[in-house]
């Protein structure tokens, strides 16, 4: 094993996941691979129809270079959700955009986040 994968694991992966229970991480992976909002009798596998049924105010915030959730996918999804917006976050951090070197790129205003989210400047 060369030094780069060890360094990535030590700097990025271990600090992010070492505190999680392994079963929780496996559950997150299972959800990621199996979650399908259109997999119900109401939508019959029609993903666009399922997105169109979303009533919540929606803002999708993909990282500009996120390879897991590419902005092109988020733009498509936002186009199918009534009133939704897609606001790609300019960053070279890819999927790690919201972590931005170990600190969240968004934080909650006020105690216990009562006022919602506000951006931290990049």
Band (pLDDT 50/70/90 cuts) for residue 5 is confident
**Average pLDDT value over all residues in the chain:** 80
Residues 72-114: tens digit of each pLDDT: 999 999 999 999 999 998 888 888 787 664 444 444 444 333 3
pLDDT tens digits, residue range 41-56?
A: 999 999 999 999 999 9
Q: Rounded to 5 degrees, what are φ and ψ at 43? A: -115, -15
Distance in angstroms (rounded) separating the CA atoms of residues 10 and 16: 10
- Provide the pLDDT confidence category of residue 15 given band limits of 50, 70 and 90: confident
């Amino acid at each position: 094993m060369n030094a780069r994968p060890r360094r990535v694991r030590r700097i990025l992966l271990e600090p992010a996941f070492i505190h999680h229970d392994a079963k929780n991480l496996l559950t997150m992976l299972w959800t990621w691979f199996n979650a399908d909002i259109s997999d119900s009798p109401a939508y019959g596998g029609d993903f666009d129809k399922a997105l169109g049924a979303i009533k919540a105010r929606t803002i999708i915030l993909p990282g500009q270079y996120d390879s897991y959730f590419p902005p092109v996918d988020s733009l498509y999804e936002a186009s199918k959700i009534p009133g939704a917006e897609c606001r790609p976050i300019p960053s070279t951090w890819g999927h790690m955009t919201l972590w931005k070197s170990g600190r969240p790129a968004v934080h909650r205003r006020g105690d216990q986040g009562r006022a919602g989210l506000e951006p931290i400047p990049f």
